Structure 1
Amino acid sequence: MRASEEQLWAILTQRLKARHFVLLSSVYRHRSLRKVADEMNLSQPAITKALKEMEEIVGAELFERTSRGLVPTPVAYLLVPRSAAFLEDLRNLAADLTAFHAGFHGTVRIGIIQFISYSLLTKAMDALRQQGFNYRFVVHDGHTDALVDMLSRHELDCVIARLTHVNSSEMEQEILYTQQAVLLSNRAYQSPNSRKLTINDFATAEWVLPPKATPTRRAFEEMLVRSGVVIREPLVETISVAAIKATLASNEVCVTMLPRDLAEEIAAEGLCRILPVELDFLLPAVSLITRRAAQSDRTLGALKRVIRAVAP
């Protein structure tokens, strides 16, 4: 007779230990008891015994023993992401306690895409401090999909990125603002002689663009299709603002597409300029992305309030 949901809940909370999740993670990665034993500095019989114990607790086989090694069962695939999130939460707790003992209220882990002004982040940090929240900040930058993936694995508390459909059922998304796209070049770039420039006038330029998988690049290419314009393959593909600035500064025939707020910050440094052409599209909205399951967290609530307040 199978255990009821309440009986299983009692068994899991009473018998499952952190070491079981560490074991599961190691077995899933290595698919070899010998490699797991080496990693965990235990004997193979001890690993076998611990794995059987975990299978007894969950009431199902986790790995099929084959000549090719250990093959995860459907139940293992159910457990692995939850196990990873549990272990990451423990790691986050260790970081929070370390920060607390150092005089902070805890640690806030924020992901942010590069194609927005970082002043949004610094203003939010300042606002939290002014309200008496003394947090240590850990900031990761990258593209939207990678940051949302880190958020789903509990490696981040929130993400400031493009509106996305990735893991949408697990994520709470709140639109903060939209951005107008502009073209940016070296100040010495020779614009085509035209009374009113269009994107077609830059079809043969040397382009610096974000990678094709990013929402910004997809939006740009959709605009090109609507306009019937075909541009050259990019000379450089990157989301690194530092790399974009360095490329434009050293190459007088390169053009890039950036959000206006970020382009204005770069142009103010004196080496680049915004080109006088209107681009007929908006970039995907900048949004604040959090896990639905974390909405009651007090720290996250304070962070969301200040980000809303300082957003353009």
Structure 2
Amino acid sequence: MLIKKAPLAGLTENDVTPHHLYLNRRKIMAAGGALAVTGLAGACSQQDAAAQSPSVRPTDGALDFATTDYRVSDGDLTPYDAVTGYNNFYEFGVGKSDPARHAHNMTTDPWSVEVTGHAERTGTFSIDDVIDFNALEERIYRLRCVEAWSMVIPWIGVPLSSVLERFRPTSDARYVAFETYLNRDEMRGTRFPVLDWPYKEGLRMDEAMNPLTLMAVGLYGEVLPNQNGAPMRLVVPWKYGFKSIKSIVKINFVSEQPTTSWEESAPREYGFYSNVNPERAHPRWSQSSERIIGGGPFARRDTEMFNGYGDQVASLYAGMDLIENY
């Protein structure tokens, strides 16, 4: 089911930063690219039939997608060059420009995902069996990074719930864990012990099934670039960016809270929940405001609790101490 988020401010299509294919979105849709956004839950319940349906997955270029009215609180979209040129993807290096310079070495086609754990349907699946490419939609979300910077990005993808439901998780699946692709020949950063590779992340099942959580396969109307997590990545808009794991090759349904890479590396700084919370400072800097990438050297904004999505997600954490459970 598509849940629409009311605009927090008047961001319209005319306000966004131009990009050559993105400006042609209406032309793409007029040519037959627009797809209905209704009936997603029913389509996802027919896992076997969906897996056998013809795929519309492109290998490059523009995606076909339907639009929603998700909006962010202020400002234009982050320029495309900044979205694709200023990244955290330590598998390719710790510098912000390293992923754009080196991620082209990563093989993304063919792509398979291993599904394990407490689910009725497990095994190794092609990306076409994991993602329903006939049900893509666009959502404009802010990605808030723990280094106190943010971007506003038009993501293309499907609700994560529609992905997970294909594998019929059992009642023992209280959490879902993810792993990133690992190839030391293609990913130069993994030759150094920055983290304990492969990169690992996880969500509680109710977080994973929340309608806001997206499995993205594109941005700005295009297939997802390698440096942004091709061919499939999470977008969890109320959490810090490192929770939105890139280039996923493993999904594991587990009963116990999984250990995540940054939690394992620096537990005082990066907790399992990692909800955007301006009241909990990082041990080495404040999280009360953020730098707006692409907005000029002095462009900043106040950080919002849950990144502005409190109406949709605050109930997930009712009664929890969000300073202790960071």
TM-score (norm 2): 0.20
TM-score normalised by L of structure 1: 0.21
Q: Considering only CA atoms, is the larger Rg found in Structure 1 or Structure 2? A: 1
